[in-house]
Amino acid sequence: MMYRVFQIQLSDAEVDMVNNGERIARYEVKRDMFGNNVAELAKTAFSSDYYDHVANIKAYDLDSVFAIGNGMMDGEVERTHEYCSSISVGDIIINEHDEKFVVDTFGFKQID
């Protein structure tokens, strides 16, 4: 099955702005993406268009996507964005049925 991976990625200009003390909403959501509110934050951030489609990964299931996306397992990865980091908490994975899952603190949580 092919899965699409979405991450909140900051451009170099946005990183510079954050380092200069400017408030960047995408950064603040990414920074706060831990704890009990991961699914709700991810859902809101996705609807606010803060996520970028960074990769397509061919895998058996969500655990395989995570393993391939973190270099723990070989697999087919097609990068679709200039920036793409390892898969971590807050990233969204969408399967072929357009079901959305967020990488939670432990495991995955489906979001609408």
Residue 58's beta-bridge partner residues?
2, 76
Yes or no: say if 89 and 34 are a contact pair by the CB < 8 Å rule: yes
Q: What's the chain's Rg over C-alpha atoms?
A: 14
Structure tokens at 76: 């087919």
Residue 68: is its pLDDT beyond 80? yes
Tally the domains of the chain: 1
| pLDDT of the residue at 33 | 86
| pLDDT of the residue at 16 | 95
| pLDDT of the residue at 45 | 94
Q: Identify the band that residue 92 occupies on the pLDDT scale cut at 50, 70 and 90.
A: very high
Q: Mind listing the pLDDT tens digit for each residue in 18-55?
A: 999 999 998 999 888 887 789 999 999 999 999 999 99
Yes or no: say if 22 and 15 are a contact pair by the CB < 8 Å rule: no
Write the CB contacts of 107 (distance below 8 Å, at least 6 apart in sequence): none
CA-CA distance, 104 to 6, in Å (whole number)? 14
Which residue range is the domain that position 21 belongs to? 2-111
Residue 3: is its pLDDT beyond 90? yes
45 sits in which H/E element: helix 38-47
| pLDDT of the residue at 83 | 80
> Which pTM was predicted?
0.91
